[in-house]
């Protein structure tokens, strides 16, 4: 691959085996219709699997039972090792709520040794996922929250199970960026993700990603288009980041990817793009207010801003998320899509589950109250 263009590769990111359900948390996934934990489908941001006993290797007569595996590991099929959820919960950096217990769970397995949800681990090794999501706000918790909210919205809008799954998968990838400077190779951990760097990385690892996610060429391009729509700010100003997309604006990149799709796929892809963009904007704010506050703190660190200066902008941001459709309408006209099919903020908010809709509203009010 061209490391000058992409900045990083899948050289250590070989696709993990998609494992049959063995551990407690995986059982629900295999029963779920769209590749999400059953708890996720019920509306929780992320409910980890309940603790289960450490599995033992099955005895093979006349050999006695094998000793238990080390703490935190359960035996899978054909020797595959699955991580077991340890008892108890820990404080979250933000956003991953254990709704059943009312506690918070840290997304970072690399940092804590706790497992990521199987929505993630069916596709990623934990250290790999951490390296691709190395921000303070855009950490491992963020793409999980975006996948949960985006998948829920796509399902509630009536999209096919394949498209719901594509939204979830795209959400997990949408900020994949090791934060390497394209020229020097310096890693700048804790900085914002760059959508055009993510897209270039996807281009250079297309075959591997298609194999990992089960995508054909159209699926791959749809996923790229959804991710391109999450570029923030989504504007018509060109970017220069050392990738093949240099000189293009977010709007131009998005339009170019849509034009690569069959005409029949474009309207649905633009609707899914609006869904993923909204989920990206609000995903970290659909849980508790404590989690929302922590998200703002992380974003301030990432942007190298004083939190006191960022906080006043938060109520307005949450109150307008999903309203930024002006460029989408322009793109729709250029690619032959009726812009009236694009969901606006009111429709998106109304399509959230009741608990997330209420949390989003409550959090916006509480941020406003802090400024009174």
Q: What is the pLDDT of residue 95?
A: 34
Within a domain: 38: no
Number of other residues whose CB lies within 10 A of the CB of residue 86: 16
Which pLDDT belongs to residue 242?
93
Q: What is the pLDDT of residue 56?
A: 40
119-to-198, 245, 315, 365 alpha-carbon distances in Å: 20, 30, 30, 31
Residue 57, in any domain of the structure: no
Asked whether residue 228 is assigned to any structural domain, the reply reads yes
Q: pLDDT per position in the chain (372 positions), as tens? A: 333 333 444 433 433 333 333 333 332 322 333 333 333 333 344 433 443 343 444 443 333 333 322 222 222 222 222 222 222 222 233 333 332 222 233 334 444 445 789 999 999 999 999 999 999 999 999 999 999 999 999 999 999 999 999 999 999 999 999 888 877 888 888 889 999 999 999 999 999 999 999 999 999 999 999 999 999 999 999 999 999 999 999 999 999 999 999 999 999 999 999 999 999 999 999 999 999 999 999 999 999 999 999 999 999 999 999 999 999 999 999 999 999 999 999 999 999 999 999 999 999 999 999 998
Q: Are 322 and 344 in contact (CB under 8 A)?
A: yes
- What is residue 114's predicted lDDT score, i.e. its pLDDT? 54
Q: How far is CA 281 from CA 56, 79, 194, in A?
A: 43, 40, 15
Q: What is the pTM of this model?
A: 0.73
Q: Using an 8 Å Cβ cutoff, are 233 and 252 in contact?
A: no
Would residue 358 count as lying in a domain? yes
The 3-state DSSP class for residue 324 equals: coil
| Distance from C-alpha of 257 to C-alpha of 100, rounded to nearest angstrom | 41
Neighbouring CB atoms inside 10 A of 196's CB total 23
Contacts of 337 by beta carbon, 8 Å cutoff, 6+ apart: 258, 266, 267, 270, 331
Which residue from 69, 42, 41 is spatially nearest to 56, judged by alpha carbons? 69
Q: Which residue has the tokens 């099919």?
A: 341
User: For the chain, first and last CA: distance in Å?
Assistant: 53
Please give the Cα distance from 162 to 112 (Å, whole number).
Answer: 33
Nearest to residue 224, comparing CAs of 164, 269, 282, 279? 269
Q: What CATH number did the domain enclosing 208 receive?
A: 1.10.1300
Indicate whether 77 belongs to any domain. Answer: no
Q: Is residue 147 part of a domain?
A: yes
Q: How much is the pLDDT for 60? A: 39
Confidence (pLDDT) at 59:
42
The dihedral through the CA atoms of 222, 227, 233, 236 has a sign that is negative
Please give the Cα distance from 94 to 280 (Å, whole number): 15
Q: How many domains does the chain have?
A: 1
Domain of 325, in residue numbers: 107-371
Please indicate, yes or no, if residue 73 is contained in any of the structural domains. Answer: no
Position 300 in a domain: yes
pLDDT of residue 112: 45
């Amino acid at each position: 691959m061209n490391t000058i263009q992409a900045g990083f590769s899948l050289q250590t990111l070989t696709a993990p085996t998609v494992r049959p359900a063995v551990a407690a948390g995986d059982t629900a996934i295999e029963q779920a219709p769209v590749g999400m934990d059953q708890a996720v489908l019920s509306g929780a941001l992320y409910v980890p699997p309940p603790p289960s006993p450490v599995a033992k290797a099955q005895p093979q007569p006349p050999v006695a039972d094998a000793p238990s595996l080390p703490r935190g590991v359960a035996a899978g099929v054909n020797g595959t090792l699955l991580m077991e959820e340890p008892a108890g919960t820990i404080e979250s950096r933000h956003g991953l709520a254990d709704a059943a217990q009312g506690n918070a769970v840290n997304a970072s397995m690399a940092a804590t040794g706790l497992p990521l949800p199987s929505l993630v681990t069916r596709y990623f090794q934990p250290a790999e996922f951490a390296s691709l999501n190395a921000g303070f706000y855009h950490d491992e918790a963020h793409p999980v929250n975006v996948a949960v909210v985006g998948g829920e919205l796509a399902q509630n809008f009536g999209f096919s199970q394949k498209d719901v799954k594509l939204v979830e998968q795209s959400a997990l990838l949408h900020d994949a960026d090791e934060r390497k400077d394209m020229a020097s190779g310096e890693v700048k951990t804790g900085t914002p993700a760059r959508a055009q760097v993510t897209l270039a990385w996807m281009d250079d690892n297309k075959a591997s990603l298609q194999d990992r996610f089960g995508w054909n060429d159209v699926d791959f391009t749809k996923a790229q288009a959804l991710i391109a729509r999450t570029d923030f700010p989504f504007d018509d100003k060109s970017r220069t980041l050392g990738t093949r997309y240099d000189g293009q604006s977010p709007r131009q990149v998005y339009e170019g990817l849509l034009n690569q799709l069959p005409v029949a796929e474009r309207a649905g892809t633009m609707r899914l793009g609006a869904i993923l963009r909204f989920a990206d904007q609000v995903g970290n704010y659909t849980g508790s207010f404590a989690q929302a506050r922590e998200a703002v703190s992380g974003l301030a660190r990432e942007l190298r801003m004083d939190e006191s200066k960022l906080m006043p902008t938060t109520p307005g941001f949450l109150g307008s998320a999903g309203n930024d459709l002006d460029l989408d309408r322009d793109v729709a006209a250029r690619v032959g899509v009726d812009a009236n099919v694009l969901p606006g903020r009111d429709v998106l908010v109304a399509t959230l589950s009741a608990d997330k809709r209420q949390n989003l509203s409550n959090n916006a009010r509480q941020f406003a109250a802090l400024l009174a």
